[in-house]
Structure 1
């Protein structure tokens, strides 16, 4: 692994660099051959919060996770835990279900954003557009899990309707479909 470690509002010391390389380097045990791509690590400090973003592009797979914590070393540990969960989940699903040609091979995890409860203003800060692909609800759940999202919008292959699958608080899945 080749590391590209950057710091924003933070000086990347040799101790931090060694800790990041040691922790993220442990991910190589999950792969048959060594990871040859660059590992992009962005460390930043804003409002007293330490934030780490890790992106590992590999052939056919993009691992990405971010985490923030009051302690930088704790944030590094948490982001490595997220990456390990992504890898294990990805490998389990690949081995359990044959790959389908149109299934994306990207795994992403985003840090949860705290909403300001006192603000009554609703501000849309991002808009996404995408094509709805026909699939069944089981495949939609797999896609949602692979992307690390809490919900996934898809076109039901049987009915042709737009449906949504989502992860419930109890860990099970729900399906929203029109009447």
Structure 2
């Protein structure tokens, strides 16, 4: 487990760093290696102690933050929150039937805005990224999207094997886009 600890608006403290690393060792049992953890500890107005943790492991990103009047309590609370999220994630994965290796590759491209304004020219691709899309249910896709703190997620429906998109609406609900062949 790779753990990076950052201190903001406070003195660097080895006991706090060791305490955070020791507490984060608890989450190893819920998630597969390799795990990258980013811990940010900050103090605002000398009384608000804030601990933020971001975990990334095998396509799963989990974030949490807590604020108390004691940094050790903030670390305990945020690790407890992360642990609850991971338990819930593992439980949903356990209840979900395993995929039979039917992953698809998706390619994401980002175009430069200027390339659309100039008439007669092809759009310029600024960045491109490919990633596997594993089959999952709509409920699992919503959970995965929430865990990653994203506004949308492209996934393969485990029943129909079609590519779908689930997204967060402005009213707080979720939307589902199911393409239909014409």
- Common fold: TM-score over 0.5: yes
Establish whether residue 153 from structure 1 lines up as the match of residue 179 from structure 2: no
Aligned to 1:45: 43
User: What TM-score comes out, normalization by structure 1 length?
Assistant: 0.58
Aligned to 2:91: 92
Per the alignment, do residues 53 and 95 of structure 1 end up closer, same or farther by CA in structure 2, a change over 3 Å counting?
same
* Cα deviations by residue, 1:115-137 (Å, 9 ceiling, x for unpaired): xxxxxxxxxxxxx9769x9x9xx
Where do 5+ consecutive residues of structure 2 fail to align?
A: 98-134, 158-165
* Cα deviations by residue, 1:62-98 (Å, 9 ceiling, x for unpaired): 0111111111000000001101100110011111123
| Shift, 1:28, TM fit | 0.8
After TM superposition, the runs of 4+ consecutive aligned structure 1 residues lying more than 6 A away are none
Mapped contact 2:60–2:148 kept (Cα < 8 A): no
Mapped contact 1:65–1:108 kept (Cα < 8 A): no
Distance 1:37 1:85 in 2: 17
Q: SS at the partner of 1:11?
A: coil
Q: SS at the partner of 2:37?
A: strand
Per the alignment, do residues 129 and 85 of structure 1 end up closer, same or farther by CA in structure 2, a change over 3 Å counting?
closer
Aligned to 2:54: 55
Rg: which structure is higher?
A: 2
Aligned to 1:4: 4
Distance 2:63 2:151 in 1: 21
Summarize the alignment of residues 11-26 of structure 1 with structure 2, pairs less than 5 Å apart. 11-26=11-26
Q: Which structure carries more strand by proportion?
A: 2
Distance 2:58 2:176 in 1: 28
| Shift, 1:153, TM fit | 2.7
| Shift, 1:19, TM fit | 0.3
